[in-house]
Each structure stands twice: as structure tokens, then as C-alpha cells.
Amino acid sequence: MSLRLPCTCSVNMADMDPETTAHTEPTVGEEEPLFSNLDLFLFSLIVGLLIYWFMSRKKKANFYVVLQQGKNIIVFYGSQTGTAEEFANRLSKDAQRYGMKGMAADPEEYDMGELSRLSEIQNSLAIFCMATYGEGDPTDNAQDFYDWLQENDDEDLSGLNYTVFSLGNKTYEHYNAMGKYVDKRLEELGAKRIFDLGLGDDDGNLEEDFISWREQFWPAICEHFGVEALGDDSSIRQYELQEHTDINMNKVYTGEIGRLKSFEVQKPPFDSKNPFLAPVTVNRRLNKAGDRHLMHLELDITGSKIRYESGDHVAVFPTNDSMLVNKLGQILGVDLDVVISLNNLDDESNKKHPFPCPTSYRTALTHYLDITHPPRTNVLYELAQYASDPKDQENMRKMASSSPEGKALYQNWVLDASRNILAILEDMPSLKPPIDHLCELLPRLQARYYSIASSSKVHPNSIHICAVVVEYKTKTGRINKGVATNWLKNKLISDNGHKSTVPMYIRKSQFRLPFKSTNPVIMVGPGTGIAPFVGFIQERGWLKEQGKEVGETVMYFGCRHKNEDFIYQEELEEAEKNGVLTQLNVAFSRDQEQKVYVQHHLKKNKEHLWKLIHTDNAHIYICGDAKNMAKDVQLTFCEIAEELGGMTRTQATDYIKKLMTKGRYSQDVWS
């Protein structure tokens, strides 16, 4: 391990008081001391920094405890939105059905340098459920593990049995990059792959991919280790209910993500476990007309010590609609204000509760549990036992199977109809699960990420969000609303004299303006994809004001109608008038009979674009929809390179890929 000390202090002798420096000189006849005052000062500083470094380091658990407990199936997860963690929990729970001891583990909390020690456990297996984030990146909690894999070429993992299930999305350039890397790298370091790499595609049906892989995985593991299934397919509870009838309410969680009372006494640094409550100072509608609601919010971060750069993401923790929560309470016939704890039945587990406890059912369903997404098949399987109608039981178990009929039923009845848990309970009256088991099974409500629509150079104490409110009618005639966008929409500037606040933190991004301000930038961002570019334009304008030379700044924006949803029109036109934007191209897709998109404008300006890219070292940025827009735009740039660069299609594709590798073609996209 190499220790790098931050250089936080330098001493300039010229800046010291002359009398002080004079006293450090030895007088005639005096013996020069072994250490001068300055030496002692610097020594004390280094010791202090060392102590601070060791104290502030996050202490990681070693595998000694795992060895002691004899857990032989360890499922590590790299999870950004909670799905990989959910799959890891399911696999560790499965282990019990095969007479094995399983546990799910966050690699961020363990010293992964001791991974080889797992070979000391008989019939041990490390499973890695690894999601890919952004442009082929590891998730936040798997970053240290990824770095360790990259840096330790001499590590010997022979004796370690492993398998990997990877979570990704085919619409992204680096499909399942993290899972593929972990699978390949572990083999390179000598570990033994016990079962083939599984690839889950969130653009298709991730749940189906996981079930198909899992149903082949367990028989292969049984054969490899010579074990048999116990034949017990009944529900296995992981947590037991404890009701608190007489508890000090100061010890009850009311929505905090990590530390109890952290929302009352805010202490930096702020992160995913300790979000900052940012007051909302602006909440305005961006579009002039139309059915949709596009909004601009500004969050005040004064005094928080939070720093951000243009291109970063702001993560916000939303809360569920109280109407949905109340309806769940009514349909299950429970008092939502009962204070409970769900305690892990495995005393040795490092995960004591599925969410912060003690808390009330109301708080859990409002702040901690995802009640709006269609539930996954494992939830249906475990809840089936509580349906009094045998036909309902049969259908729920069928939907959780990998049979073609079951998959089709789940796709049609749950996914295509966008049925959340409330809709399922309403449409299946015989299903009456105990609320504590439901709370155990539902996944955690996750933070939502938004590209920041401001520059810290211009707005150091405020973070801007641009988003479209999600609301749609399902096949069953219900109105489904996006959790975070509807919650943000209702964040009034002041609510009964109190400022509305948003729990948030910053996620750093690689989506960055070029280091040299003289490099031209080409920005393509239709709809709310304009968000990071609002920050980029502000920053380029600030640089110009500082007297810096700034390269061409070209914007391609798209919306439906000029008079409806041309968002940030005034700001964009002002930037063009001031010369900050050297070119503003706007595609209004539905203002004429023939639809016009950003890629049509790119083709129209191909000569200018090719000069900027090929001759002037321009950086290209794409933000918005990954499935269609980002693909079409990339294809257009390939066509421009092919035509004006005199390349074949393969050469043009490679040319654009090389721009990506060099960091000159960046994407901030979502599906």
C-alpha cells in the first residue's frame, strides 16, 4: 500500500517575521540544535496528517469474520440503483435451499485484498453481481474493488471459485463492461470460473435474463460441489418483526438515510449516506404551453461545503406519494403509525435491518421502500402463499417461473400494464400479505440522478435541475406518476413559512469541458438533454469575461414546438447574441409536416462540423435519450467522417470510437 499525503501546507521563509527567523539562527559559541523549530513544526504537521489520514480512512472489514461464520457463498454486488444488490440478496437467500450458508456483501465495506482467503472455506464460491454505470464505469461502491483489480498484477487468486452475473443496457456503448472486466480479470489472476458469465440487459427484460441464468446456475453449482437441493421451496424469511409499544420517539427514524437525526443536525461531508437538505429557492415551469410540465429548480447549497463542476450529477432522495401509502395501509388493514423493527434472523449478518430501524410502517413506505415500480418475480413468488384463491396462487408462482407461459404472463400482466404493488393488491382481492413481509420484500427506494444545469463558476452556492414531470395512463386506466419528478414539482419555495428542502448529494462525472478553453465544443442535447449544456455555456461565458480565449461553442438543441417547449430560449439567444454561443441550431420536430431532429441539422452543417472535429480538435458532447437519439447522432457523425474524411464505414466507426477513447466524444445518456 502506498501512502500519499496531501500537501496542505507550505512554509515560505520570506513570509516569516524577521525577528522569528533571526531567532532560529544559532549564535556564536552556541551548538546548533539537532532540530530547528521549523523541523519540529514540519515533523508535527506530518505526524498530524498521518494520524488524520488513518483516522479518516473508512475502516474495512476483513474476511476473518466470514471464515469464522463458515459462510461459503459470498455474493458481492456493485450497485448504483439497487438492482444488483437485490439480485445479490436473492442469490444469498437461495443458498439456504441448498444447505449452504450465503451472505450478500458490499465490496466497499470489505478489504478485497483478502479475497484469496475465501479458498480456506470448504465448497466456497464468490458470486459477483456487477452493474455497469454510465460509460462503462464501475458503480460507486465497486470503484475501490475495480481499482484493486487493475493495480494488483501479482495477486494470486488460485483456489478462489467464482462466477459473475453482469447487469447492463444494450443501448449503451460499453454494454456490461464492468461485469465482463471482473469476469476476465479474476480468471487472469488465477481464480476458477465455476459457471459462465451471465449478461442481463435492462433494455430488454433484466429480470427474465437473471431468472434464466439463475435456474441454470444452481444445478451446475450442486453438481460441482456434490450437494443436493433440500427440496424446500417455501418462503424463507430473512427478518423477524418486532413491534415497539413503548419507545422513546427520539430513537425512531423518520426518513433519514443514514445517521439518526442527521436531518436535524447537518454535518459535512455530504454523500449518499449523509445527504444535505438543500432549500428550494426557485421552482418554475420552463415550457410555455403543451401537456407536459418541464421544470427548472434551484437548490441552495450555501454553507454546505459542497463543491461541483459543470457536467456533474445531483442525486436527490425522493419520497412516495402519501395517497399511495395511505391506500396500501387501507387495503392491508393496518395502522401505519405502529413503530417497528425488522431484525435479521442471522445474528452474524452485517446487515441488521432492510432499512433504518426502528421506524413506522408509514415512514418505511414513504421514504425507504419502492412502491411504484412493478415488483420483480421473486416478490410475487414469496407473496403467492398469502393468496386465498388457488388460481391466484398458481398464477403468481407461474409468473415467477422461467416457463415461456409464465414469462409471457409476467410481461403482459405486470410489466406491460405497469402494475405496481398497490395495483396488484387491488386487482387480486384474495391476496392479503402481512405488511411486515411485504416491507421485507420490496426493494429500497433509490436516489434519482439529474445532470446539473448550472456552472459552479457562475453559481457556486446553487445547483440547478432541469427535468420533465413523468405522468402517463396505464393499460388498466390508472394514472402512474414518476416518483421524483412529481415530488420535485410540488416542492414549493415556502410551505407554511418553512422552506421546502431536498435531500441531495453530488456524484462526480467524467462529462467535462476540455481542459483547454481554446478547444471548440459541439453540444447535442434535445429536450432536457440540454441540462449540462446550460452549465457549459455559463462556464464558457465566464471564461470569456475573465479575458480567456474561448474556442467555438456550438449548440444543437431539439424540441417539439417552438412556441411550446423551446426551453431556456432567452438564455440561449442571449448567449448567441453575446458571442458565447457561436452557433445555435434548433430542430422543432413537429412544427412542420416532415419531422426534423438534431441529426438533420448536423448533416446540414457537415462541412463546418468536420473542420471543427478533424482540424480544430473539437470535443463532442451528447446528452439525452440513449436508445434512439444518441445512436442516430453517433451514426450521423460516422457518416460525416465517412463522406468528408474519405473513409470506409468501418474506418469512420473506428474514428469516432477513437474520439471516445481520447475523451473527445462524451455521452451523458439515459434509456
Which residues are part of the catalytic machinery? Answer: 451, 623, 668, 670
Backbone angles phi and psi of 658, in degrees to 5: -65, -35
DSSP state of 347: T
Q: Is 83 annotated as a binding residue?
A: yes
Q: What cell was used for 219?
A: 444445478
Q: Is 19 annotated as a binding residue?
A: no
> Which residue is associated with the grid cell 451446475?
220
Q: Is 652 annotated as a binding residue?
A: no
Q: Is 649 annotated as a binding residue?
A: no
Q: Is 235 annotated as a binding residue?
A: no
Contact indicator for 656, 638 with CB cutoff of 8 Å: yes
Q: Is 271 annotated as a binding residue?
A: no
Q: Is 84 annotated as a binding residue?
A: yes
Question: Strands (DSSP E) along 262-415, which ranges?
Answer: 276-285, 294-300, 313-316, 339-344, 359-360
Q: What cell was used for 588?
A: 422543432
Q: Is 253 annotated as a binding residue?
A: no
Q: Is 470 annotated as a binding residue?
A: no
CA distances from 220 to 179, 212, 388, 413, 650 (A): 20, 13, 35, 32, 40
Question: Strands (DSSP E) along 616-664, which ranges?
Answer: 619-625
Q: Is 589 annotated as a binding residue?
A: yes
Q: Is 474 annotated as a binding residue?
A: no
Distance of alpha carbon 245 from alpha carbon 238, whole angstroms: 23
Q: Is 495 annotated as a binding residue?
A: no
Q: Is the dihedral of CA 413, 415, 421, 422 positive or negative?
A: negative
Q: Is 468 annotated as a binding residue?
A: yes
Q: Is 152 annotated as a binding residue?
A: no
Q: Is 172 annotated as a binding residue?
A: yes
Q: Is 621 annotated as a binding residue?
A: no
Q: What cell was used for 438?
A: 411485504
Q: Is 453 annotated as a binding residue?
A: no
Q: Is 306 exposed, middle or buried (0-12, 13-18, 19+ CB in 10 A)?
A: buried
Q: What is the largest CA-CA distance in the chain?
A: 103
The 3-class SS string of 82-124 reads CHHHHHHHHHHHHHHCCCCCEEEECHHHECHHHHHHHHHCCCC
Question: Which residues have C-beta within 8 Å of that of residue 589, sequence separation ≥ 6?
Answer: 558, 559, 560, 595, 596, 597
Q: Is 597 annotated as a binding residue?
A: yes
Q: Is 448 annotated as a binding residue?
A: yes
Distance of alpha carbon 346 from alpha carbon 348, whole angstroms: 5
What are the binding residues? 79-84, 131-134, 167-176, 202, 292, 448-451, 466-468, 472, 482-485, 528, 589-590, 595-599, 632, 670
Binding positions for FMN are: 79-84, 131-134, 167-176, 202
Binding residues for FAD: 448-451, 466-468, 472, 482-485, 670
| Binding-site positions for NADP(+) | 292, 528, 589-590, 595-599, 632
